[in-house]
Amino acid sequence: MRPGDPVALTCDDLDDDGAGVGESGGHRVHLAGALPGERVAGVVEHVSRQSRAAWARLETVDAPSPARRPPACPAFGACGGCLLQHLAYHAQLSWKRDRLTRALAAHPALADLKVDECVASPRPLGYRNRSKLVVARQRGGRLVLGAYAPRSHDVVDLAGCRIAEPPLDETAAALRSLLDDTGVRAYDERTLTGHLRHVVLRANQQGRVLAVWIVARPLPDGVALARQFRAARPEVIGVVEHENRSRGNVIFSDENGGNERLLDGVGELEERIEIAGHAVRLKLAPGAFFQANRGVAALAYGAIAEALAIQPTERVVDAYCGVGGIALTLARAAAEVLGIESHAGAVAGATASAALNGITNARFVAGDAAQALGQIDRAEVVVLNPPRKGCAPEVLAEVARLAPRAIAYLSCDPETLARDLALLATRGYRARAVTPFDMLPHTPHVEALAVIDRVVDRR
């Protein structure tokens, strides 16, 4: 099999990136846009030199799947963001559960671990509370707010995005028009000229929006432009300018907070998470990480609280606490909660959020998770919500040293979750079950919660 060859096959699964896969000529061929059960034809674009894998461009779907659906977004396929919009939602949930099951079954110690049905998003569309948009001028001079096409730096216009919460697409459209009318210069990464690189819009539960303009250099009329924008869109409560002079596609600069300045309004957004009749209020700074799907975050946080059943005498340690959403959810039931987070800005936000909620038994520290855990003498319960790479072995070693009675592990990657659960099993811990949550519908992303009990006391 060589690039340029025609290929015809029947797909039997999706790969981890959401592309259809099937066998042809002894090769495992990946075709973006194909679905399991479909007979498809394409043209080979790349053949691996290390394995019998190949990637092809989909040309025709000769026998479509009953689960195939018309995609909701006009930019589907071009933007590369929501790769499963053409797959019925119930089938997406089933595939995500199967993917998680396969990842766990790859480890003998986890082979019989029960995987629950995938918890659906309350809103499969209009769920994403944050839009991250590239600013560019297309051929002909029209300014667009969009996303890079897959494996390209061509910018696809995201006007009409159906994944974003309702205020965000309308707000982005108004901003695009304003930027175009006032002649704002989009940053050109090839010539390093221009001003505006990205726009980040975040909406809260009440539909208020915080706008962050990522610039290579300050906008000449930034304050006036921000005031004009807010006057046109009353839902925008503030506009922040974040200077990022680095090369590459990283949106937020790590350098001195990106040299931020408030152009107009307020510089933070207050979010609310409703869990079992109680609200947790969170202060979100411009670059703060918070789950993109508020509704599923609330379901996951509620499941953690219910499963852990925190007692009034217990200390809880949240080793990757972020802005404190899970820690503050658990604080009302615990004697003490300690949150650990490497990002100092997130720690400041979590501390402010604790005060906002009137919570006095939660404190947050900035630092490396393993080092901070090493300074703790006890914890009855530990929460882990690491990035995609999972927990470092040193972190799990420190958790095992503390010998908590239970651990809640909220993961955003099935493979690293399985790896870490297998390691914890060697240290006397076993998961009761694992529950997938559909945090990002129409994408291959799988969020999963494992609630883990100590079965062997190694203290």
Residue 336 CB neighbours (<10 A): 15
- Whole-angstrom Cα distance, residue 201 to residue 198? 10
- Whole-angstrom Cα distance, residue 97 to residue 100? 5
Q: What is the DSSP string of 6-52?
A: EEEEE--EE-TTS-EEEEETTEEEEETT--TT-EEEEEEEEE-SSSS
- Whole-angstrom Cα distance, residue 86 to residue 251? 29
Residue from 73, 79, 118, 412 carrying the catalytic annotation: 412
The token duo for 249 is 């596609």
| Element of type H or E holding 90 | helix 89-105
Contact present, 408 and 394 (Cβ < 8 Å): no
Q: Which residues pair with 76 in a beta bridge?
A: none
The token duo for 342 is 């490497």
- Whole-angstrom Cα distance, residue 408 to residue 390? 13
What is the rounded end-to-end Cα distance, in angstroms, of the chain?
A: 57
Catalytic annotation present for 412? yes
Contact present, 46 and 55 (Cβ < 8 Å): yes
Among all residues, which ones are annotated catalytic?
412
